[in-house]
Amino acid sequence: MGNLAKTTLLLGLLSGVLMVMGQMLGGANGLVIAFGVAAFMNFGSYWFSDKIVLRMYNAQPVGPEHRLYQAVASLSQRASMPMPKVYVIPDPSPNAFATGRDPSHAAVAVTEGILRILDDRELEGVIAHELAHVKNRDILISSIAATLAAAIMMIANMARWAAFFGGSRSDDREGSNPIALLATIILAPLAAILIQSAISRSREYGADAGGAAIAGSPYGLVDALKKLDVASKRIPLDANAATAHMFIIKPSAVSGLMSLFGTHPPTESRIRALLGQ
């Protein structure tokens, strides 16, 4: 299954979990309110994503004389995309991200650490990956997923508080099942997190493939990922959990069952996919 089809399916599943919760809990008004609040919060984050995240990491703009700017300009032209704004983050941990609500309002940022360890070919691989995120409108997709997941969590919290203070109207309805209600309250947020993480991993694979196409070869990104996987563990990035999914390498490593909640696929899997293995 292609990454686009997989993302569409996962977004559908996330929407399905939201609808099931609304039916199980019997609170149509609560469903609408929770979705509205989540949509408002995430729309704001989506619309102002470039300003918010760049300020969060103290990113500094760079001009045409900078090596990074020249790489972004060359690859943007090759990808037939508008030139994004270019920033460097004053941090020794090697990492990078792209942000912005659409290709005309995009920004690419990399850390000082990544500029120190990557050669020009590897840096181009990373930049091409980030441009692919912009071209694929992954910020929009992640915002939709975050809205659905946040609404599910809000409804679950509302249901927990209602149960704590004496039960909700749905408890008194004929045929209601308290065990099923409890399972929904507990399992639905877990399912939302798992699906949201799976969407993020799918978009990373998509950006890897798109970046290889923009760069004209997967090998620059492959070699960059190998370096970044080692160096980012040696010098981890102190990243906000809400923005960790944006970076090319997850700031903190996860393994075992916790990888199900990871926003990034294992680096080895990404490399194998890039090489067609």
Tell me how far apart the alpha carbons of residues 22 and 54 are, in angstroms, rounded to a whole number: 37
Q: What does the pLDDT read at residue 170?
A: 46
33 vs 124, more confident? 124
Active site residue 130: yes
- Residue 259 pLDDT > 70: no
Residues 10-14: what's their mean pLDDT? 65
State phi, psi for 83 to the nearest 5 degrees.
Answer: -70, 120
**pLDDT at residue 205 above 70?**
yes
Average pLDDT in the 26-40 region?
Answer: 63
Strand residues in 23-160 grouped as ranges (E): 60-61, 85-89, 96-100, 106-111
* Rounded alpha-carbon distances, angstroms, from residue 267 to 9, 250, 271: 24, 10, 6
Residue 52 has what pLDDT? 82
Which tokens is 6 given? 């997989």
Q: Of 213, 249, 216, nearest to 114 (Cα)?
A: 249
Q: Please, are residues 211 and 131 in contact by the beta-carbon 8 Å criterion? A: yes
What is the C-alpha to C-alpha distance for residues 125 and 215, in angstroms, rounded to an integer?
6
Above 50 in pLDDT, residue 168?
Answer: no
Percent of the chain with pLDDT over 70: 70
More confident position, 88 or 8: 88
Q: Is the pLDDT of residue 252 over 70?
A: no
The pLDDT, as a whole number, for residue 98 is: 93
Lowest mean pLDDT across 23-32, 62-71, 231-240: 23-32
Dihedral sign for Cα 242, 59, 79, 277, please.
Answer: negative
Mean pLDDT, range 106-126, rounded to an integer? 97
Query: What is the rounded distance in angstroms from the CA atom of residue 213 to the CA atom of residue 216?
Result: 5
237 by DSSP, 3-state: which? coil
Residue 184 token pair: 């929904």
Q: What is the pTM of this model?
A: 0.77
The dihedral region occupied by 94, where left means phi > 0, alpha psi between -120 and 50, and beta the remainder, is beta
DSSP three-state, residue 89: strand
Residue 265 identity: P
The one-character DSSP state at 231 is: H
Which listed residue (130, 174, 204, 268) is catalytic? 130
pLDDT, averaged across the chain: 81
Token pair recorded at residue 106? 């995009």
Q: What is the pLDDT of residues 86-115, one digit of tens each?
A: 999 999 999 999 998 889 999 999 999 999
Closest CA to 72 of 107, 99, 48, 116: 107
Average of pLDDT values for 249-262?
A: 62
Q: Judging by DSSP bridges, how do beta strands 96-100 and 60-61 pair with one another? A: unpaired
